[in-house]
Structure 1
């Protein structure tokens, strides 16, 4: 279990403060660009961004799944361009947990390197131990996702087939032909299932996505603006979540890409992150360079490009094995005077 001590984890524009409610105001930065997430011990914890304040309800342990409750709400009003009550069906606690765990991993790695630079080797070792625990939890969460199980299932079946073949050979050598016939039937059935599992795993790994990391999108039904910060080849949520979100009523069902989407706080101040099927997302008809506010944007993205989309940090691209997006070459952007004689 990962236990975060009562201290502040800081990056250039983002900090995580672990402690009791009384420490909130004392530990939070007053800067307009500061981001702080305060984890309490079984009490609500706070997030402050750009002078605004939000609260979560959760526990101090971030490692035990479902202890981290992503009940989120801003303590200020916002323009409601979408339908907040309906959009809440796509809210995902597991997605919020996944993003926060990614942040902890990034921040602990930074703190380890900082301690090493200062030759604080004892501190670096303690932080590295915490980092190892967080990384182990991230691997477990990733492997528990729907789709990843197909790959491990295929591997398990392959091992079982090898064992059965060895038993078959022993049965033949001992002239136990009835047992050999029974083992052949088991091997035949298991091989068919193994092929199916391998096909599912291959489809999971080779999925094609219509949207990319950092891209601004609009929701077809609820109208809010969002930014893609994660993606899965299929819906990786629980059956209970899929029932609430009416995934079975989707045109493409659950076997389509689902995206982790940061929701503009001005569009829907009560929806922190959404888990959205590909068929419910649209690319803006025109270039979207309007301001987009969200407390997670500062540690997931470097900033925005010329088209208004966000530029994902390298670690986020590595997490989803996505290439860097390059804007199309526009010769009009070049200085007309380049290459001319003085």
Structure 2
């Protein structure tokens, strides 16, 4: 099943974009008629107001069987204008990361809903699927945060100790050909271990200038955006970094990168951008102007008194970020 659009229960909007990663998380059972991703029971009527059906295709089950529909953007695009410079920072992987996060939220809601209806078998199946998704997400987060690099460095350190012992035995036995081969292995392992340690330290010591939910403006392209994710260093592919000309940045790839939602009224062709810290600027005055994007309804509770968005608890937990409190202004009571 091709999943290119996801709609949410309760107050979420239909989210269009690439969600190919969700294909692997789809499950069907004849008895329960359950389909995860675009499954029966989604309240599509809440999303009709926010989408027009032109663009990518998705299977949406209805009461009369499977119906083929096409879900697209209300704001004249969503594909990203690859011809523009701003489109070079468009990130499909960041978009999928957000959609998978939404998928987790939806599964958790469905688990609770099934429990409330005392449908324990369905709740168990949903919980098992949620556990699978969460386990995979944790692996990805560990890789991004450098925890896997730290573990990798430790493993390589243990391997080096073993190779040193093997080297000593080879020398004592005058097996110099084997000793030379072991030295080559040790040299390569030491270089890999050093690189993994440096990466892990960079992740542990990362300092973010911007926070989740904060409204920002792109220094070069001028569009307004809101931060919805962050990485200590660039976690995109080498091809993406080449296309985005990361090597021409002052701080290169070894600086914080942010997933940002772009205001659709300023750039309707740019869905989610992955922007280096040096290209973002916080507004000098509180930005309380209207901000529209189809993902804000499930990533944030709403806007605070300073005009920034309040991230949902699960989003803060995902990035291990503290809750931001807006400084008290006595004039607010006037």
Into which bin does the TM-score normalised by the smaller protein fall?
0.7 to 0.9
Render the CA deviation track for 1:203-224: whole Å, top value 9, x for unaligned.
1122111100000001111111
CA distance in 2, matches of 1:319, 1:214: 14
Structure 1 position 123 matched with structure 2 position 122: yes
2:180 and 2:87 map into 1 onto residues whose CA distance is: 56
- 1:138 aligns with 137
Which SS does the other structure have where 2:84 is aligned? helix
- Deviation, 1:88, is 1.0
CA pair 75-106 structure 1, distance change in 2 beyond 3 A = closer
The 2-side partners of 1:92 and 1:237 are apart by 8
SS in 1 for 2:96: helix
Decide whether the 8 Å contact of 1:288 with 1:308 is kept in 2: yes
Q: Deviations 1:8-43 (Å, cap 9, x if unpaired)?
A: 751333468727xxx9xx9632xxxx4x4xxxxxxx
The TM-score, its normalising length taken from structure 2, stands at 0.75
- Aligned mates of 2:150, 2:277 — CA distance in 1: 23
Deviations 1:56-77 (A, max 9, x none): 63777xxxxxxxxxxx963445
The 3-state SS of whatever aligns with 1:10 is: coil
Pick closer, same or farther for the CA change 1:211–1:138 going to 2, 3 Å.
same
RMSD over aligned Cα, in angstroms? 3.6
1:28 and 2:44 matched: yes
Cα distance in structure 1, aligned partners of 2:260 and 2:179 = 54
Matches within 5 A, 1:167-178: 167-168=166-167, 175=173, 178=176
Q: For 1:245-324, what aligned pairs fall within 5 Å after superposition? A: 245-324=244-323
For the Cα contact (< 8 Å) 1:215–1:227, is it kept in 2?
A: yes
SS in 2 for 1:74: coil
Q: Cα offset for 1:330?
A: 2.9
- The CA distance in 1 between the partners of 2:232 and 2:116, in whole Å, is 40
1:188-203 mapped onto 2 (5 Å cutoff): 190-191=189-190, 193-203=192-202
User: Where does structure 2 lack aligned partners over 5 or more consecutive residues?
Assistant: 16-36, 60-70
TM-score normalized with structure 1 length: 0.74
Q: Are the counterparts in 2 of residues 84 and 270 from structure 1 also a CA contact under 8 Å?
A: no
Unaligned runs of 5+ in 1: 37-47, 61-71, 336-342
Match of 1:18 in 2: 38
Alignment partners' CA distance in 2, 1:182 and 1:136: 39
